[in-house]
Amino acid sequence: MQNDSQTIEVRRGFGLLFIGVSIAVGVASVLSEVAFVNKAPLYYYAIIWFASFAITFGLIFSRFRTIIPSIRSRMKYSIKWSADAKALNGLCWAAPFAAIPVFPSLYQFLILLGIGLGNFSTYVLMKKYSRLDNREQMIVGLISLASIPIAWEIDLTLLIARHDIAVMLSRILISTAYGTGGIYALLKKDK
């Protein structure tokens, strides 16, 4: 178990990590849409996504070097889980992403499902096996899962006219989920 100051430091680390993911996904989503509208070559998308994450995390980690050990310390708790728990968590994270090549037209929903199930299962298993209440992870998972019907409706509404906008908006929902979890983690006052 972690003491109170470690818990706060780890939560702060994950808050910054989640906000970084939120910013990177949001920026890359918008820039990808700009690239699409301007008929940019396919390799631009890889550059956009790589640069968005590299710049965002370069800035975060260069200013807050102490969060890396905090993030790593929370991740070590899953090593102690049973093999079944590890398999279940891995399946929750990986299965939706592995299904993308089989169902490419559903990829934005499968990404939301993978992020939702992965984060929520990690929250539940951390609470059960490690007695850690990482609500920021639960928030990301639940918002991602709740975003699937929203993304579905947006996709159906815009499918004929602008499928690219529907995809961008589903990515913005991912950004919102991570941003909300990150803000919660930074603002949460532990007792």
Say yes or no to pLDDT of 36 above 70.
yes
Supply the pLDDT for residue 160. Answer: 61
- Is residue 81 predicted with pLDDT exceeding 80? yes
Mind listing the pLDDT tens digit for each residue in 131-183?
Answer: 989 999 999 999 999 999 999 988 888 666 677 888 899 999 999 999 999 99
Q: Which residues contact 1 (CB under 8 A, 6 or more apart)?
A: 131
Cβ 166 vs Cβ 158: under 8 Å: yes
How many Cα neighbours within 13 Å face the side chain of 27?
Answer: 17
Report the alpha-carbon distance of residue 69 to residue 36 in Å, rounded: 38
> Residue 191's pLDDT is what?
55
Task: Note the pLDDT tens digit of each residue in 130-142.
Answer: 898 999 999 999 9
Give the C-alpha separation, 170 to 176, whole Å. Answer: 10
Count other C-beta atoms under 10 Å from residue 79's C-beta. Answer: 7
| Least confident piece of the model among 72-76, 96-100, 101-105, 144-148 | 72-76
Hey, where are the domains in the chain? 4-181
Both tokens of 153, joined, read 């409706």
What pLDDT is recorded for position 3? 62
Which ranges constitute the DSSP H helices of 38-134? 43-63, 67-75, 83-98, 107-125
